[in-house]
Structure 1
């Protein structure tokens, strides 16, 4: 009986091992088939995403006559930098570029200061109405710009900021999304660190600047990229507020310049301008991409 039981146990063990091996082989086959399909799908998505950028770069290197005769071509027959030369020689281009840089700096600095302070307060300080304040931030994120721009414009005019760079920058100085990101990231900072600083006699301002901000580098990088992108690519609000070419930002100035000649769009100038507008964003993201990913992960955004 003992021998029979032992042999039965050995047989069951062999069957279990065989079943496990079969499952492993099946999993390997599925991975060997599924992984190439996944990579192929990702590659296709990447190509579809990059094709418009490739066409813009290619079009910016084509002459205006070539663009008009064959607008759908993917490669230039004759490579030329004439569009960029005309762009840089365009009257007011330097002023448009300077205005965009100044507005972007005001927006980025304002978001770093205001969003960091607001996010820290909403996450780490106890005060009456904290939940209501955070609810207001969340609600502001859901309100489309088209429902508030008239009110914003009236307030801007009443403050005497119409046709000024400050008036263009002011609505973007404290974006609700920036406050949300900083608040979510601040919640991940251990309270023990802040309590230890309080025990050592540090006040809230010192804790904020000496303890919290050095730890919030990824979140600061994230709101820097997002606020810069929001300001740099903004077209509608600067178009509404700027009433003279002296206040035009780069997107508004390029749009006005490209249609100045008998209301015919100069597509070579438009494509060259698109490259110039994209370059600062790409450079900023390349420098801060590691912190950007950490900030998104730390804030809980997906």
Structure 2
């Protein structure tokens, strides 16, 4: 191996290591701080590693709220919303990729253009619609609005552009209905990109804070993110409890990523930008 290649690899690995540490150190600080005693947590200068490990912060946090209920609410919102998102986005992406109809390209561009519109601009109209449907203070008020995502539709469409039209036409000639064609051919072929969208949707819904904050005011309907925000008062912050529950809130996302990381990488690699 030449000196140039060795130098190039060394620089690449060094940069990748620095980027990894840049993202990893804050997470490690939260995890290690959650098992410090309150006295050690507020000690100056701060240290990354705890001198003694204690779980008193977790005990205190669980005593301050019904976190079993909050986890249940978050799980319901995340799972149901992810399922609805996968169905709607896959159908929309399939239609935009394989059906030819007037205005298809305009619909795609208009749909993708919504990516440039922040939630803060459209949340009032959405809130009015949700209120008129009687979904305020309901978990459905969190689940329904973000069900169709431009990112998801775009990912599915781009992936399905690589599916040969001849395969779909052959299925139609054999007598397959559009419904059967979708569920028995398109969905199995799109499993890699559907897995990617499922992981993204799970993380989006689990970590969502702003929209649930607007829709939910009943503490019995709080998600885990809203419950964690209760540790932040007007004049002080209960950092030990907040850090402890933040670590607990990380666990489901981490588990999902570890289980489906291969599908995530495969889906991203096989989702090309085709025209």
TM class by shorter chain equals over 0.9
Give the Å deviation of 1:90: 3.1
Residue by residue over 1:72-121, the C-alpha shift from the partner in whole angstroms, topping out at 9 and shown as x without a partner, is 32111211011122233332211111111111012101111100111111
The answer to whether the aligner puts 1:172 opposite 2:146 as a matched pair is yes
CA distance in 1 between counterparts of 2:7 and 2:269 reads: 31
The answer to whether the aligner puts 1:297 opposite 2:269 as a matched pair is yes
The answer to whether the aligner puts 1:282 opposite 2:254 as a matched pair is yes
Tell whether the 8 Å contact from 2:112 to 2:154 is kept in structure 1 after alignment.
yes
The answer to whether the aligner puts 1:91 opposite 2:58 as a matched pair is no
- What residue in structure 1 maps to residue 239 of structure 2? 267
| SS at 1:172 equivalent | coil
Superposed, which structure 2 residues align to 1:244-263 within 5 Å? 244-256=218-230, 258-259=231-232, 263=235
CA distance in 1 between counterparts of 2:97 and 2:174 reads: 21
Unpaired stretches in structure 2, ≥5 consecutive residues: none
- What residue in structure 2 maps to residue 21 of structure 1? none
| SS at 1:219 equivalent | helix
CA distance in 2 between counterparts of 1:122 and 1:34 reads: 42
Tell whether the 8 Å contact from 2:228 to 2:246 is kept in structure 1 after alignment.
no
The answer to whether the aligner puts 1:186 opposite 2:160 as a matched pair is yes
| SS at 1:148 equivalent | helix
- What residue in structure 2 maps to residue 238 of structure 1? 212
The answer to whether the aligner puts 1:62 opposite 2:20 as a matched pair is no
Tell whether the 8 Å contact from 1:106 to 1:173 is kept in structure 2 after alignment.
no
Give the Å deviation of 1:299: 2.6
Tell whether the 8 Å contact from 1:103 to 1:165 is kept in structure 2 after alignment.
yes
Superposed, which structure 2 residues align to 1:205-224 within 5 Å? 205-224=179-198
* Higher share in helix: 1
CA distance in 1 between counterparts of 2:162 and 2:82 reads: 23
The answer to whether the aligner puts 1:141 opposite 2:115 as a matched pair is yes
Give the Å deviation of 1:71: 7.0
CA distance in 2 between counterparts of 1:71 and 1:177 reads: 43
| SS at 1:52 equivalent | helix
Unpaired stretches in structure 1, ≥5 consecutive residues: 1-26
Structure having the higher Rg: 1
- What residue in structure 2 maps to residue 107 of structure 1? 81
CA distance in 1 between counterparts of 2:124 and 2:241 reads: 31
The answer to whether the aligner puts 1:203 opposite 2:159 as a matched pair is no
TM-score if structure 2 supplies the norm length?
0.94
| SS at 2:144 equivalent | helix
CA distance in 1 between counterparts of 2:240 and 2:267 reads: 38
Once structures 1 and 2 are overlaid, which stretch shifts more, 82-91 or 179-188?
82-91
CA distance in 1 between counterparts of 2:77 and 2:156 reads: 22
Tell whether the 8 Å contact from 1:184 to 1:298 is kept in structure 2 after alignment.
no
Residue by residue over 1:163-190, the C-alpha shift from the partner in whole angstroms, topping out at 9 and shown as x without a partner, is 1100011111111111111111111111
Give the Å deviation of 1:37: 2.1
